[in-house]
């Protein structure tokens, strides 16, 4: 029981963190949204199918891309960031609840990093 409660807590935290970064980001709805996500992924190589996590991953990559576009990140740093997310996502696929929890914790940390990078270059995310 305790493990399932911790899992729900991680899922709730993921939802809160992920919803926080949705402002100013185009959605994945329709072919144009899917092609924007594909463009972000192919910028660095192969694409990953993120399934139900696609919108959240797209939001994170988009925030990091805004930072890259404004010179905060080098392309190699952006691509390493993207590759790390893809690798951790693949690792969670067959590992059960512990792997899912590890993915959620890793992804939340990456989401915070991407929002921080974007905030440094995008005045729409700054308070005031």
- The three-state secondary structure class of 53 is helix
Phi-psi region of 107 (alpha: psi -120 to 50; beta: other; left: phi over 0): alpha
Residue 122 reports pLDDT greater than 90: no
Radius of gyration of the CA atoms of the chain, in A = 15
Give the model's confidence band at 24: pLDDT under 50 very low, under 70 low, under 90 confident, else very high.
low
Average pLDDT, whole number, for the chain? 78
Q: What is the domain partition of the chain in residue ranges?
A: 46-123
Using DSSP, how many helices (H) and how many strands (E) does the chain show?
5, 0
What is the C-alpha separation between 1 and 68, in angstroms, rounded? 43
Residue 33 reports pLDDT greater than 80: no
What is the C-alpha separation between 48 and 28, in angstroms, rounded? 15
Tens-digit pLDDT profile for residues 86-109: 999 999 877 889 999 999 999 999
Q: Tell me the whole-structure pTM to 2 decimals.
A: 0.72
């Amino acid at each position: 029981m305790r493990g399932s409660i911790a899992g729900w807590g991680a899922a709730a935290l993921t939802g809160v963190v992920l919803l926080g970064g949705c402002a100013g980001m185009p959605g994945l709805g329709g072919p144009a949204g899917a092609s924007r996500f594909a463009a972000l992924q192919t910028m660095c190589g192969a694409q990953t199918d993120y399934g139900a996590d696609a919108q959240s991953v797209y939001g994170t990559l988009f925030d990091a891309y805004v930072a890259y576009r404004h010179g905060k990140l080098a392309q190699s740093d952006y691509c390493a960031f993207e590759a790390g997310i893809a690798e951790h996502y693949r690792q969670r696929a067959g590992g059960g609840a512990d792997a899912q929890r590890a993915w959620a914790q890793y992804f939340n940390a990456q989401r915070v990093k991407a929002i921080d990078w974007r905030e440094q270059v995008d005045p729409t995310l700054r308070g005031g």
